[in-house]
Chain A
Amino acid sequence: MPQYQTWEEFSRAAEKLYLADPMRARVVLKYRHVNGNLCIKVTDDLVCLVYRTDQAQDVKKIEKFHSQLMRLMVAKESRNVTMETD
């Protein structure tokens, strides 16, 4: 389970993983207030990418990334439509 040290590496790899197979990939967010840490995991059941943090500044990045993926998931159809119309 490769764990990433930098956010940039993780987000790039995670996005790639999702785009490779959007139906299989899923994003899991684990928040532990007691320990004060947050863990984001992206997996397609074969590969599993993890990024752990206890920094508040990463919360925004993680949450933004999460929303980005959400948008990708729901936008697929509309995206295709706009791309197809000439």
Chain B
Amino acid sequence: MVAVPVVLLESEQFLSELTRLFPKCRASGRVFITLKKCDGRTRSIPKKGSVEGCEPADNKCLLIATDGKKKVSTVVSSKEANKFQMAYSSLLRAKMDGLKKRDKKNKSKKAKTPQ
């Protein structure tokens, strides 16, 4: 596997990078998202870049997103988790829309396709 330098970002930056990753991969390729609990000594993070690893804490998690070429990551702590999670969830739901819909009958009333 080619060693892609990992860039550690702020959670907001990470979200905007992730938002850009999805459309890039729409025509081809795939998006990989990894979620891992953070303890301060994660060897999987390469030493390149501004990555010092996480501070020794129990309440952080590491998120990595890549399209195979570019890799971005962020560390989420319990403080940011709520805010980050809401944005992250809606991002995933909005972007991962290429899957087959089972029924035409959707339970959600919001889903109205504008003609």
Contacts and interface: CB of A to CB of B under 8 A. Distances in A.
Interface of A: 22-23, 25-34, 36-38, 53-60, 63-64, 66-67, 69-71, 73-78
Interface residues of B, number: 39
A76 B92 contact: no
A27 B21 CA distance: 19
Contacts of B77: 74
A6 to B, nearest CB: 15
B25 A77 contact: no
Given A34-B27, A69-B35, A74 B60 contact: yes
Interface in B42-84: 57-61, 63, 76-78, 81
A63 B97 contact: no
Given A23-B39, A34-B26, A63-B96, 12 more contacts: A26-B35, A31-B22, A31-B25, A36-B99, A53-B99, A54-B100, A60-B93, A64-B89, A66-B92, A74-B61, A75-B59, A76-B58
